Amino acid sequence: MDTHIVKAFGTEAPTEDLKPLSIERREVTALDVEIDILYCGVCHSDLHTARNEWRGTIYPNVPGHEIVGRISKIGTGVTKFKVGDLAAVGCMVDSCRECEQCKKGSEQYCEKGNVQTYNGYEKYLNKQTFGGYSERIVVDEDFVLRVPDNLNLAATAPLLCAGVTTWSPLKHWNVGPGMKVGIVGIGGLGHMGVKLAKAMGAHVVVITTSPSKVDDAQRLGADEVILSTSEEQMKANANTLHFVLDCVSAQHDVNAYLSLLKVDGTLALVGAPEHPLPIAAFSLIPTRRNFAGSTIGSIAETQEMLDFCGVHNIVSDIELIKMQDINTAYDRLLKGDVKYRFVIDMVSLKN
């Protein structure tokens, strides 16, 4: 298989900083497109993976799964895109396409495991996949998304993970008018959850540990805010919500958030902390509450969400950074010091 070398940023060990690396990309095969990456969002999953917090990271690791750019090359069989088109790639770049989940268009739940954009398995080169902290990426056209042309491109990048990861559960649990929905953890995912749930017509309640985000909540679209560090505010809001989306990246007491749910309410976890989260039996039993999880979203859902954002003029609130600033950005992410998503301007990688 023909390959070429591209510039990237990644890490060679859990405790090492990210630094410039050279990686191999395959040349486009018949159904591939090659994308010149313009912007890449910085997801907390990038940090969890770079530092091997979920175990199983293969090094060197090049993170990045909120990718937008312009198509620079297409394979001979490509029909959905042409050279020069804007295009985007999210958290997965392939799946088995044969299992029950793939056949019904839920590739994210592929029974053989979807192929993740980074730290996945690159079947053509028989090694790990490398993500969007790089100049270019080569992806099968079926896993490439179209980008609405009316949105700020840099601020669109985070929709590819933070957007769809909140969109998919909000849709799955039928969030809309008449529903009171809590969003916990107002980082990259959470702030998109607030914007999307509001645009879907729900009554949105922001639940945050950060006093500085209380003032921002209304601007993001929240109808109410709960400061979760206030026992009084948490008690006053017990048994009031139909659905809670938990977007927290670190250890936290899920029971406190379950207590906000009404009878039959569901808390869906999308946040993926390193260690298990204990659940008390009596957080669930007396009120028949549900505790659930959800991973990213399908390709069809991702396109649906992008088109919805185009119509409703929804993008992420971003802070644009240079590739060389990624290690500082990770430190700030850990402190919750970003409003609300870092996005890397990939031009900086050419320096």
**x/- contact string, 42-81, with ligand NAP (CB under 6 A)?**
-xxx--x---------------------------------
102 binds, among ligand NAP, Zn ion, none (CB under 5 to 8 A by kind): Zn ion
Residue among 179, 271, 306, 314 that touches ligand NAP (CB under 6 A)? 271
Question: Over the chain, what HEC string results?
Answer: CCEEEEEEEEECCCCCCCEEEEEEEECCCCCEEEEEEEEEECCHHHHHHHCCCCCCCCCCECCCCCEEEEEEEECCCCCCCCCCCEEEECCEEECCCCCHHHHCCCHHHCCCCCEECCCCEECCCCEECCCCCECEEEEEHHHCECCCCCCCHHHHHHHHCHHHHHHHHHHHCCCCCCCEEEEECCCHHHHHHHHHHHHCCCEEEEEECCHHHHHHHHHHCCCEEEECCCHHHHHHCCCCEEEEEECCCCCCCHHHHHCCEEEEEEEEECCCCCCCCCCCHHHHHHHCCEEEECCCCCHHHHHHHHHHHHHHCCCCCEEEEEHHHHHHHHHHHHCCCCCCEEEEEHHHHHC
Residue 31 CB, shortest distance to ligand NAP, in Å, is 26
**x/- contact string, 68-107, with Zn ion (CB under 5 A)?**
---------------------------xx--x--x-----
Residue 13 CB, shortest distance to ligand NAP, in Å, is 20
**x/- contact string, 277-306, with ligand NAP (CB under 6 A)?**
-----------------xxx----------
Residue 275 CB, shortest distance to ligand NAP, in Å, is 12
**x/- contact string, 144-163, with Zn ion (CB under 5 A)?**
-----------------x--
Residue 41 CB, shortest distance to Zn ion, in Å, is 8
Interface residues with Zn ion (CB under 5 A)?
43, 45, 95-96, 99, 102, 110, 161
